[in-house]
Structure 1
Amino acid sequence: MHDARTLLEMGEEAVRRLARRGYALDLSAVEGLLARRNGSIRAADELRAEGKRVAAEVQQGARRGEDVSKAKERAREIKERVRELEVEQEAVAEELRRLLLGIPNLPDDRVPDGDTEEFAVEVRRVGEPPAFSFAPKDHVDLGEAAGILDFGRATKLSGPRFAVSRGTGAALERALGAFFLDLHTRRHGYVEHAVPLLVTRRTMTGTGQLPKFEEDLFRTGVGDRELFLVPTAEVPLTNLYADEIIPPAELPVALTALTPCFRSEAGSYGRDTRGLIRQHQFSKVEMVRICDPEHADEELERMLGHAEACLQELGLPYRVIVLPAGDTGFSAQFTYDIEVWFPSQDTYREISSVSNFGTFQARRANIRTRGADGKPRPVVTLNGSGLPVGRTLAALLENGQRADGSIVLPEALAPYLGFREIAADGTPVGD
């Protein structure tokens, strides 16, 4: 969450930067609410001071046997007015908080202008897309023909945007999750966590999902307890340190988790409705890094390398792009997207976003460290997909397909699977 004073000090610079992402910042609204809140605080403080003086007059007059009824009445009036000002202050403070919570992060000046992927800047391409002597099928046709994906029965169970994997398909999902976790924990130094999948409103607010994106979340609860299903492990992993001061010697913190993710995908109907690309429930390995602000850029590049390593180990061709300001997520100030090649679509599709949030999430969740002067200050948070299991599985099926419908799998997964190929009928082949 932004600090109101900081936004006002930045003035038109804050307006300019937020306009790049399509947000019209109303500085006068921020200034007006801040002035009203501060005015209520000052008025209440002045009345409290007067109340102390009047209380002393009542005590002294009573000891002298004087009539202190007027002084008592004044003390009562002051107390009542202070209560009114406290209520007013709380109401204005909450209004200001809601306004600030709805303002997105300031985009980094290094990101390009624009509001769609068309304005993204390509950084690099890695690997060559496979050349087929036949028309490549998409992962839905491949998976259903082999009997390893079942979208029809998933729809029967839960409605659209769900999938069932079976046999070697389920084994491949399990292998991918384990492979990604091992890669990040053993090679990249992340600490694996098993986290709750149901979290509070405050937890969702800490990482920026609330209040803006409530319609994209699945909300549930028990009795009067309100809980939300996590849309990504970024939410619980980052908020593990909410309201804490992390000792500088413990930074950077590197966390990872494999969790189911739940997204309503509100407003996305008609887009990517086929297959595993956009589901209400999917599994994903998430990476979170928390660091000192001075090291944010190098930590972002390090995390990008960790996400890329997943695709490199699997031999999947991909490209890296920098998202434009208007297409950068609400909480992020700089985002790399990694896009993997999908032969059936003859294009690259997003499989991982790696983002620097600056101090935006840390301020919302109150995550701090200590500066050189020993005073608490916000940390920087970063996160990235490393990787989503469903989309990776889809890319493996499409890139590894043969004309007869069989699929060749990467050597890196052999220790996790116990086989190297999936036959056209879905049975495992090789060891």
Structure 2
Amino acid sequence: MHDLKILRDDPEAFIAAMGRRAVSEVALREIVVAAGEVRAHTNAMQRNQEDRNKIAAQIAQLLREGKDIAATQRQGAQEKALGERQQISLTDSQNRLSNALFQLPNILDPEVPDGADETANVEQSQFGLIRNFEAPPKQHFELGEALGLMDFATAGKIAGSRFTLLRGDLARLERALGQFMLDLHVTEHGYTEIAPPLMVNEAAMFGTGQLPKFEEDLFKTTDGRYLIPTAEVPLTNIAAGEILDLAKLPLRFTALTPSFRSEAGSAGRDTRGMLRQHQFWKVEMVSITTPETSADEHERMTRCAETVLERLELPYRRMLLCAGDTGFSSAKTYDLEVWLPGQGAYREISSCSNCRAFQARRMNARYRPAQSGPKPAKPDFVHTLNGSGVAVGRALIAVLENYQNADGSITIPEVLRPAMGGKTRIG
């Protein structure tokens, strides 16, 4: 959600900012007109109320003087009727403006590079050495199926396409990955573990920006709830409707949950294997902080996600997303892309985004700044951030492909061996 003051004070700058997001200038001009109508109707209603107050005072004075009030009452009735018509016009303009603004993405950070798609993303750094294999490395689904521990046919029989059934040591390895990430963020990175609801209401989805624009990507229940596409939704909404204590900020939450996505726009993409599923496990991080500290919090959160990959000794790179690849609610996003030898490519495993006040405005999440005078400071909107810490299924894929051996077995990363009962290899 956007600050109307920015739109009204400098509409050309707002149009230019949205232009970087490839939003139609015609649509933006219509929004500027709607904002002007809202202001005009609001001012007219204020003047009407002032006139009605004057008429009420005149009637009181006439009554005290014992004079006829009929004509003044008729004038008051006319002003009241005018005010009711103005209220209808204002409500109509406000609804049109709100519905249009709800469809607009966040304003981008100046550091975000221009570009239409992922080809314009900018590499920031790399970690780890890409392993040389004697024979062409296999993809994760080839390895998993050969081990008899990754079963797509049975999952398809039970649930349909884009589901996977893991057995034995691969199921345990996926569980070990999730627990390792969660424990790392709680014990070393200072996040508070949350076990959130896996279904949320419409207001929660609207607050984080999934609704109304992305409803086709969601799974909806028969009673109007939604399965969470990411734990970002319930974790961020902890602050919805609250005025938070400055002394308690930043709030940092983490959760290990399944995520549910319809993948409506991905027909034909990544149809083999586990890369793009309707259901997958993910460790999520959310921070709620002040405007002054959100940029530093963004860097900190991204480093927390990077630490997961470094402890697993997986090669990865950090990418700054361009304008055309940055998500709807985000002002600035770093993607971490892990190297997958079987594909011979880097693939996204974590996105860490600073949404600034965009989500906070939608869910009315505020804090009270430090008092600088005799009166308490007026509440202001918090900044919200979210990041994958990281996607568990994709981490499993990366481990299988990077730790594969010539005989088809998988070496277990050292950091995961305690959770695997001391095992060093799956095969």
One fold, TM greater than 0.5? Answer: yes
Task: Give the equivalent residue in structure 2 for 1:97.
Answer: 98
How big is each residue's C-alpha offset from its partner over 1:324-372, in whole Å with a ceiling of 9 and x where there is no partner? 1111111111111111111111111110011111221122222222334
The one-letter amino acid paired with 1:331 is: S
Counterparts of 1:121-200 in structure 2, within 5 Å, are 121-200=122-201
Counterparts of 1:200-349 in structure 2, within 5 Å, are 200-222=201-223, 226-349=224-347
Displacement of 1:47: 3.0
The TM-score normalised by the length of structure 1 is 0.92
How big is each residue's C-alpha offset from its partner over 1:56-108, in whole Å with a ceiling of 9 and x where there is no partner? 55566678776655544444443333333222222211111111121111212
Contact 1:303 1:384 in 2 (8 A): yes
Displacement of 1:402: 1.3
Displacement of 1:240: 0.6
Larger mean CA deviation between 323-332 and 29-38 belongs to 29-38
The 1:12/1:84 distance shift into structure 2, 3 A limit, reads closer
Displacement of 1:54: 4.1
Contact 2:230 2:284 in 1 (8 A): yes
Contact 1:4 1:30 in 2 (8 A): no
SS in 2 for 1:267: coil
Are 2:405 and 1:407 equivalent residues in the alignment? no
The 1:43/1:174 distance shift into structure 2, 3 A limit, reads same
The one-letter amino acid paired with 1:378 is: F
Distance 1:423 1:197 in 2: 32
Larger mean CA deviation between 183-192 and 168-177 belongs to 168-177
Task: Give the equivalent residue in structure 2 for 1:18.
Answer: 18
Larger mean CA deviation between 130-139 and 29-38 belongs to 29-38
SS in 2 for 1:220: coil
The 1:145/1:376 distance shift into structure 2, 3 A limit, reads same
Larger mean CA deviation between 285-294 and 179-188 belongs to 285-294
Displacement of 1:135: 2.1
Query: What percentage of aligned pairs have identical amino acids?
Result: 48
Distance 1:234 1:109 in 2: 25
Displacement of 1:284: 0.5
Contact 1:411 1:420 in 2 (8 A): no
Larger mean CA deviation between 37-46 and 399-408 belongs to 37-46
Displacement of 1:186: 0.1
Larger mean CA deviation between 130-139 and 415-424 belongs to 415-424
Distance 1:175 1:407 in 2: 15
Structure 2: gaps of 5 or more residues: none
How big is each residue's C-alpha offset from its partner over 1:117-173, in whole Å with a ceiling of 9 and x where there is no partner? 221111111111222112221111111221221111111222111111122122112
Contact 2:8 2:36 in 1 (8 A): no
Root mean square deviation, CA, Å: 2.1
Displacement of 1:55: 4.5
